[in-house]
Amino acid sequence: MARISLALALACAVSSAAAAAAQNKGGNQQNKAPSQDDELWSFIKEKIKTVVVIVEENRSFDHMVGQFDYSPEIQGIANMEFCNPLNLSDPNSPQVCSRPIAMNVQPDNPEYGTTDDMYSIYGTFAPTPEEMKTPKMNGFVSRQNLAYGGGANVAREAIDGFSIDHVPIQYTLAKDNALVDEWYSSGPITTKPNRAFLTSGTSLGHGANDNSFFTYTNQVKGFNNTSMFEVMSKNNITWNHYYWGEESDAMYYYWVQTNANERMIHGSQFWADAEKGELPQFVYLYPECCSYDSFHPPSPIDRGEEFLRQVYNALRSSPQWNEILFVVTYDEHGGFADHMPIKPAPPPDNYTYTSTAVNGQVFTYNFDTTGVRVPTYLISPWIESQQVIHNGVQPESDSVLTHTSILAFLAKLWDLPELVLTRRVEWSSTFENVFASKKYENKVPYIPAQSYDWGNVQDFWSTYKGLW
């Protein structure tokens, strides 16, 4: 049976109400029928009381979920050939094509970072403004080959991906809810700058994981710009940041360090809070990074899947389940290939980032593009299964879904324009169109533990477990 979306149902209701209002010549502007958008948001605000966000690590869309094929709408590579030349500088280079045979433990972590990403995306470490108008997405394999040598067998690690059997938890969550197949990281920048964009709409010109970012082993003074956490606190929106390792995105900010340190809570408390129904209005989850549960190489894929399974089960069995939106995304692509071109995007501010490539070329990035596409799932009992979301609700003709879309969505959900922290947030698409007109009672109630057939899992743990 075809899905009747909330937006469609409300459109009919609003149309009827508008017609009735038109017949009432004595009516005034104050009594006009609410718009479709007003009705939609009224519904969402009534149903969604807790938003949970988890940011996983370093995987591109095609690499992680490109084989998902349950809907013809999915813009993956299940039904197409995606190839890169082994050597971009050789016009006769053989092509290396993606296969769903990536390994549980990544042997040779792809190179990533601004100039590396430029090479993967444009075919040069320092593209000109004219070259940046046409992302080619054809340099991932060649960059891997430059980094490691070894020919196609090693270089293909950057373009090979996973089968459905490799990632059954993510396949289940996507198919049972909504998969966003056009969600882009914030820029060709690394983990911490992308996470800064997600939490404050800018990285203040930082493009790499430098020592300016707080961790619990690098306890530096935080940045002075306003973050989502400060805005929420000052507007009585309750929140917790649960962390399992040494990283805490909220502690990037000086205001949080000096005013909300108690909101940094070890992840062991998350399970109890979910079980008791005591999660706050906003929950930010940071899995251990980068050797166990976050998908960041060399973290085993099955370990990341298991952690995600546990988080879903905790939310699904929580007394708060009926009012939860769970957003799963990845910070950036981590050097893994994706065929969808990155998009132009407005700079959030006047900062730039200059870096030097391995060949000595210098490149200055103006924060005027997105980064590579990453997997994202929107999960809720108010979201119908097997949805595929592309652009979302676009405030501007070229808007896309990206990390700052979370800020833009929350600004609407809580009527907090203060969360529109930068021009990038203002431009970002939102995803209210994912919600349907009823609660779906048939959501997977519990995902059981999975059995994986990964030949190198035991070898990894016996060799490396003691190093972290």
Chain segment 304-316, per-residue pLDDT in tens: 999 999 999 999 9
pLDDT in tens, 252-263: 999 999 999 999
Whether the CB-CB separation of 67 and 165 falls below 8 Å is answered with no
Handedness of CA 125, 126, 129, 130 (dihedral sign): negative
Mean pLDDT of the chain: 90
Q: Which two tokens stand for residue 119?
A: 């090479």
Mean pLDDT of 359-374: 99
pLDDT in tens, 368-412: 999 999 999 999 999 999 999 999 999 999 999 999 999 999 999
Tally the C-alpha atoms within 13 A of residue 192's C-alpha that lie toward its C-beta. Answer: 21
Domain 45-68+164-434 = CATH 3.40.720.10: yes
Tell me: cis bond preceding 298? Omega within 30 of 0 counts. Answer: yes
Mean pLDDT of 423-441: 95
Tally the C-alpha atoms within 13 A of residue 422's C-alpha that lie toward its C-beta. Answer: 27
In this predicted structure, the answer to whether residue 460 has a pLDDT above a threshold of 50 is no
Give the per-residue pLDDT at 465: 32
User: pLDDT grade, residue 27 (50/70/90)?
Assistant: very low
Helix ranges restricted to H, 100-190: 114-122, 140-148, 152-155, 168-176
User: pLDDT grade, residue 86 (50/70/90)?
Assistant: very high
In this predicted structure, the answer to whether residue 451 has a pLDDT above a threshold of 90 is no
pLDDT in tens, 95-108: 999 999 999 999 89
Q: Which two tokens stand for residue 7?
A: 């937006």
Q: What is the pTM of this model?
A: 0.90
The pair phi, psi for residue 171, each rounded to 5°, is -60, -45
Nearest to 147 by CA among 185, 101, 184, 106: 106
User: pLDDT grade, residue 246 (50/70/90)?
Assistant: confident
User: pLDDT grade, residue 36 (50/70/90)?
Assistant: low
- Residue 390 exposed, middle or buried by CB count within 10 Å (0-12, 13-18, 19+): middle
Q: Which two tokens stand for residue 416?
A: 């907090």
Nearest to 58 by CA among 288, 244, 296, 327: 296
Q: Where in the chain do CATH 3.40.720.10 domains reside?
A: 45-68+164-434
